[in-house]
Amino acid sequence: MIVSGELAKVQQYIDGVLSGDIVVGELVRASVKRHLDDLERAENDPAFPYHFDFNSAEAACLYFPTCLRHSIGEFASMPFELEPWQAFGVAMVFGWKRDVDNSRRFRRVYWSTGRKNGKSTFAGGLALLLASMDVSPQTGKPESVAEVILCATKREQVEMIMFAEIQRMRNQSPAISGASKVVNKRLEFAHNKGSIRCIGSDKPYSGLNPSAVLKDELHEFREKVHRKFLETMDTGGGSRI
């Protein structure tokens, strides 16, 4: 039972969805039910190949208020406290692991939310987490040379919105600004050589080895026009677990 810490928000969200106090769509309700069913399977079924790492889930959620600060609006300079629905999503992505190698169970995530719900800020926080503190399942230490790619149909789009927000958050967050630098529109961390950079779909960018790819405005990509680019983004990190 989740009763304390950042994961208390996860339990709050689960309880609200199940009781109907939090109104969600069918797919979100199904994801909540899957989580609960799989927790039971992980405990009782030896053949079930996944487990939920409460410590990893808690650590990922804690990264936001501990390391990040809001950059604009009424919450500027204040710690980035996750809302329960955000905490649930972060916990699912970073908490569920594969028994065979302790790597993440969910490797492709679709995140959609209504306008003015802080999508760019949240995505920027995820990018900073993945570039600076993501843990390699092979070593148990921060991912070495973590390469986080922000992409959109046009590079200017992702630079002007998501990367600009990342830079503002960096400037507001002592823990991040003291450990990183921005050079030629590329944010770099010293301790693990991790980085965040932006690219657009005008080139296939072969040879990349990203540890994570965040695709902004996914609906703007077109199968025939952007297929090669999307394939490169999806397969570029194949050598990483």
Provide φ and ψ at 161, rounded to 5°: -110, -70
> Is the pLDDT reported for residue 4 higher than 70?
no
Percent with pLDDT over 70 in the chain? 89
pLDDT given for residue 1 in this prediction:
45
What pLDDT does 237 receive?
Answer: 60
Q: Which helix (H) or strand (E) holds 40?
A: helix 26-44
Per-residue pLDDT of 165-219, as tens digits, reads 999 999 999 989 999 999 988 999 999 999 999 887 766 566 678 889 888 776 6
The verdict on pTM exceeding 0.85 is yes
**How far from chain centre, in Å, is Cα 99?**
21
Of 117 and 186, the structure prediction assigns the larger pLDDT to: 186
Q: For the stretch 157-180, what's the b/e string if a residue is b when 16 or more beta carbons lie within 10 angstroms of its beta carbon?
A: bbbebbbbbbbbbbebbeebeebb
Q: How confident is the model at residue 85 (pLDDT cuts 50, 70, 90)?
A: very high
The pLDDT of residue 199 is: 87
pLDDT confidence of residue 97:
96
Count Cβ atoms within 10 A of the Cβ of residue 215 and give its class: 0-12 exposed, 13-18 middle, 19 or more buried: buried
Kindly tell me the burial class for residue 68, based on how many C-beta atoms sit within 10 Å of its own C-beta (0-12, 13-18, 19 or more): buried
Q: Would you say residue 222 has pLDDT above 80?
A: no
Contact 59, 5 (CB under 8 A): no
How many CB atoms neighbour CB 12 within 10 A? 18
Position 132 pLDDT exceeds 50: yes
The amino acid that residue 25 corresponds to is G
> 3-state class of 139 per DSSP?
coil
Contact 214, 166 (CB under 8 A): no
Question: Residue 126, Cα to own-chain centre: how many angstroms?
Answer: 4
Give the model's pLDDT for residue 93.
96
The conformation of residue 69, written as its DSSP 8-state character, comes to: B
